[in-house]
Amino acid sequence: MKLYYAPGACSIGIHTLLEEIGKPYETERVDLRQGAQHQSAYTAVNPKSKVPTLLRDDGSVLTEYPAIAYWLARTNPYANLLPDDIDLQARVLELTDYVVATIHMQGFGRLIRPSGFGPSAADEDAVKARGREIVERGFALLDQALAGKDYAVGQFSFADTAIFYIEFWSQRFGITLPPNCAAHLQRMLARPSVQRMLQQEGLA
């Protein structure tokens, strides 16, 4: 198995899941700043030009954070990345989708690349302000979901690694996390899997 990743990108969540699973895997760094995601060597693997991408042992490629996380959890049940209870499974998917599709793509997306969301450079401040609003509202909702719990659905799951990657990003964008998210981030940073991932990506 091989994970294509970029240091500090949303792929840190999948990288953490691979460390939780503990089976051998390879990694290949994709230099997003240099545009490696658009070069043929990479688009031959993932034509969407995004990380994370997982190359599986049968040679097939899986993309999209929730799909990769779900597949890793189901194929490695001993790692307990997805609860058995169907209602809790639905909650894990609900939270993961909200993190990826809304907080990341709609919120952080506007902060990372405002030019993708507005017709001219003059719109950039307004685009970024809207991005910040979406992110802050997202963290407020996640804070409620985490109230009284160590992990988002009461036990560790792949929803936590999704929440973790945006919590990790909040530091870079000067976003103050509400208290339950701040505590969740610290809890995640204390996990050996996260520490190994940070070390491997040169982020420790």
Ligand X SMILES: N[C@@H](CCC(=O)N[C@@H](CS)C(=O)NCC(=O)O)C(=O)O
Under the rule (CB under 6 A), what is the footprint of ligand X?
A: 9-10, 32, 37, 49-52, 64-65, 100
Which tokens belong to 17?
């899941």
CB atoms within 10 A of CB 31: 12
Nearer to ligand X, 89 or 106 (CB): 106
Shortest distance, position 67 Cβ to ligand X, whole Å: 8
Shortest distance, position 36 Cβ to ligand X, whole Å: 10
Shortest distance, position 5 Cβ to ligand X, whole Å: 9
Nearer to ligand X, 10 or 92 (CB): 10
- 58 φ, ψ to 5°? -85, 5
Shortest distance, position 147 Cβ to ligand X, whole Å: 26
Nearer to ligand X, 45 or 183 (CB): 45
CB atoms within 10 A of CB 161: 29
Sheet holding 53-55, edge to edge: 26-29, 2-5, 53-55, 61-63
Residues 204, 59: Cα–Cα separation, whole Å: 31
Q: How far apart are the first and last CA of the chain?
A: 24
CB under 8 Å to 76, separation ≥6 — which residues? 21, 23
Nearer to ligand X, 100 or 145 (CB): 100
